[in-house]
Amino acid sequence: MKIIAVCGMGIGTSVLLKMNTEKVLRTLGIDADVEAADIGVARGMARDAEIVLTSEDLAAEIGDVEAEVIVIDNFFDLEEITAKLTSALE
């Protein structure tokens, strides 16, 4: 499974979201490849990803992709990430 963590510049916030997503996935026992990306690169990367995690303001900019785009309100909130990923994977 491929998951993309997206922010505007692909440097800070997406790396934080990537790290927290990896923590959640380890806890859930799910093996996935999580990559951090900026919005420009994410559009292309999302073509072969199952899930895209991003903020509300960037979700619309991802465009029309087959991946499920999940809005994360608080990139620090492991409970939110867990709940939204679990829901998407069911």
Catalytic amino acids?
Answer: 7
Residue 31: what residue type? D
Distance, CA of 13 to CA of 4 (rounded, Å): 12
Q: Is the dihedral of CA 35, 2, 5, 21 positive or negative?
A: negative
